[in-house]
Amino acid sequence: GEEVAQTPKHLVRGEGQKAKLYCAPIKGHSYVFWYQQVLKNEFKFLISFQNENVFDETGMPKERFSAKCLPNSPCSLEIQATKLEDSAVYFCASSQGELGGNQPQHFGDGTRLSIL
Amino acid sequence: AQKVTQAQTEISVVEKEDVTLDCVYETRDTTYYLFWYKQPPSGELVFLIRRNSFDEQNEISGRYSWNFQKSTSSFNFTITASQVVDSAVYFCALRTTGTASKLTFGTGTRLQVTL
């Protein structure tokens, strides 16, 4: 599609439950990025993919967070055993061109995750 | 390590005033890219502009203009004749070739334009 599509828009989970977020990148874009926005201002990079391959996962809290980008499927970000501090808006972005190039990242509308 | 500083947390202006949003960045890379994004109250992130480190030409797009100065590591954003629809949080971001293309964001400047 022409836009990055993220689902669901809002997800509510009880502490300790699993949460799964989805992202369909713009058609033709090979690179996908996940960011976490907390407190309405701070963005934290989580992970990037080049097609279905993880490129940079230095921002991922690996003990509970995992992500995949499989062929012909939306990318996903899964959080096991959620904690209150996971409450945030999770943005997915996609871009084309070479990794490290100057192509802008185009963002989805985000998924607001609320942990109760 | 990369860093982006937006020292102005919040700015309030009256419609039709000009306003400049400051952005200062730090990087050791010689090749890098700078971006501005707008986040309106509805929450989405809208790409506004990209600038390469080797292109210091300033840019104007309608009421928006950007001033890139390598000597001061700044990439400031000016809105001329502001409008209520400009009310949003504006983020400056940096991307270097050595960091797998992830964006490093500033903490944003909230712009409130009132009538």
**Residue A97 clears pLDDT 60, i.e. is over it:** yes
- For A61-93, the pLDDT digits (tens) are 889 999 999 988 999 999 999 999 999 999 999
| Alpha helices per DSSP H over B1-115 | none
Q: Tally the C-alpha atoms within 13 A of residue B29's C-alpha that lie toward its C-beta.
A: 20
Dihedral over alpha carbons A27, B93, B33, A56 (to 10 degrees):
-60
Segment B107-111 shows an average pLDDT of 97
**Residue B70 clears pLDDT 50, i.e. is over it:** yes
Residues 72-111 of A with CB under 8 A from B: 89, 91, 93, 95, 99-102, 104-110
Q: How far is CA B77 from the centre of its chain?
A: 5
Of A42, A99, A110, the CB nearest to B101: A99
- From A77's Cα to the closest Cα of chain B, the distance in A is 17
Q: Which residues contact A50 (CB under 8 A, 6 or more apart)?
A: A30, A31, A99
Task: Answer whether A41 sits within 8 Å of B33, measured CB to CB.
Answer: no
A34 falls in which pLDDT band (50, 70, 90)? very high
**Could you identify the residue written with the tokens 């971006």?**
B35
Q: Which pLDDT belongs to residue B1?
A: 80
- From A21's Cα to the closest Cα of chain B, the distance in A is 16
Q: Which pLDDT belongs to residue B45?
A: 93
Q: Which of B92, B103, B111 to mutate to test the interface with A (most CBs of A within 10 A)?
A: B103
Q: Which pLDDT belongs to residue B55?
A: 82
Distance between CA B107 and CA B91 in Å, rounded? 7
- For B6-62, the pLDDT digits (tens) are 999 999 999 999 999 999 999 998 888 999 999 999 999 999 998 888 888 888 889
**Residue A98 clears pLDDT 70, i.e. is over it:** no
Q: What is the 3-state secondary structure (H, E, C) of A35-98?
A: EEEECCCEEEEEEEEECCEEEECCCCCCCCEEEECCCCCCEEEEECCCCHHHCEEEEEEEECCC
| CB proximity A12 to B under 8 Å | no
Classify strands B64-69 and B59-61 as parallel, antiparallel or unpaired: antiparallel
All residues of chain A having their beta carbon less than 8 Å from the beta carbon of residue B29 are none
All residues of chain A having their beta carbon less than 8 Å from the beta carbon of residue B30 are none
With CA atoms as reference, the chain B residue closest to A95 would be B101
A1 falls in which pLDDT band (50, 70, 90)? low
Distance between CA A53 and CA A73 in Å, rounded? 14
- From B40's Cα to the closest Cα of chain A, the distance in A is 11
Q: How many CB atoms lie within 10 A of CB A16?
A: 10
Segment B93-114 shows an average pLDDT of 86
B79 falls in which pLDDT band (50, 70, 90)? very high
Q: Which residues contact A23 (CB under 8 A, 6 or more apart)?
A: A4, A5, A6, A32, A34, A74, A75, A76, A77, A92, A94, A108
- From B82's Cα to the closest Cα of chain A, the distance in A is 22
